[in-house]
Each structure stands twice: as C-alpha cells, then as structure tokens.
Amino acid sequence: MVPNKKMEALLNKQMNAEFYNSHLYQAMAGWFEGQNLPGFASWMEIQAGEERGHAMKFYNHLKERRGAILVGAVPAAPVKYKGALDAIQAAFDHEVHVSQEINKMMETALAEKDFAAVEMLRWFVTEQVEEEANVDAILQQLKMVGESKGSLMYIDRHVGKRKAA
Ligand SMILES: [Fe+2]
Ligand SMILES: [Fe+2]
C-alpha cells in the first residue's frame, strides 16, 4: 500500500537524515585521521557505512511501497572538534536526537494507521537503543580515563577493534 503524503514526506525526511548521519560520521572519521587516532577513525568509518544502510532501509521501504523517493542534498557536517571527547559527545547527542525523531515518526505512523511503516520503524526504535549505547560506552571510557595522549592511544586501540557488521 502506497504511504499517504504525510508518511511519504516523513519517510523521505528520515532517509535524507540518515544519509546526513553517514556524512557526519565520515567527517568525524576524517577528523580522527588528522589526530592520528586510526582506531577511532575506523570506528567512525564503519558507523558511516551503517548509517548509509539505515538510509537504504527507508529508500527500499519507499521503493517497495511505490512511494516517491526524493534523495536530497546532504548538508555539510562539522569537520572540526575540540578533542576526542568533544567529538564523541557530539556523536552521542546526535544519536539521542535521532532517537527522538524516530519516536516522533512512530507516533505519526500509529496515528495515521500506517502499520507497514510502524513495523519498519520498530526495527529503528530497537536499533537506536543500541546506537546510543555503543557511543555512550566510548563516551564513558573517555570521561573515565581523560584525554592524555596515553589514554587516547589506549582507547584508540580498543575502539579500533570494531568490525563491520
Ligand atoms: Fe541511523
Ligand atoms: Fe546512528
């Protein structure tokens, strides 16, 4: 069933937001490369790939339901941070914002009785819990050990172990 105009607009909006999320993490990866922290950079690059996957979930949902697919311009993402903690804090705050957007969308999908969208969004609700937890784990470790060169090198090695899903 084709999504109604309201849902179609929201699905496109979140698809484009996920493309931005991919862009955001790729830009963070670039920043971490410049800091000589390849582990953080690699983590961010894997995350950028996951975010593209999220965008494609919305894309394919629209495709399967014969909704209009409107891939728009991706806004520029920040390319500078004060430090690793600043970057990771920004990532965490952004994920919380994304969770709020997904929740709002779920509310609308329920109100519009778009049960196909509700089922798809259920995956995102669960995913966002994981997304927040993953970034929060790094954030808490950084807060614990601080941002001395030794601490950063230690955490860099740890976060660099992340494998692409
Ligand atoms: Fe995402
Ligand atoms: Fe995310």
Please report, for the chain, how many H helices and E strands are present, in that order: 5, 0
Ligand 2 (ion): which residues have CB within 5 A?
A: 131
Q: Assign a CATH topology to domain 5-73+81-159.
A: Ferritin (1.20.1260)
Average pLDDT over residues 56-83: 98
Picking from 140, 158, 162, the residue whose alpha carbon sits closest to that of residue 25 is 162
Residue 28 CA to ligand 2 center (angstroms) comes to 13
Average pLDDT over residues 133-162: 97
Q: Which ligand has the nearest atom to the CA of 25? A: 2
Say how far apart CA 130 and CA 114 lie, in whole Å. 25
Residue 95: CB atoms within 10 Å = 21
Going from N- to C-terminal start, the domains of the chain cover 5-73+81-159
- Tell me: the pLDDT tens digits for 14-31? 999 999 999 999 999 999
Q: Which ligand has the nearest atom to the CA of 96? A: 2
- The answer to whether residues 89 and 143 touch, using CB atoms and an 8 Å cutoff, is no
Q: What is the pLDDT of residue 165?
A: 85
Report the interhelical angle of 84-111 vs 115-145 (nearest 10°): 160
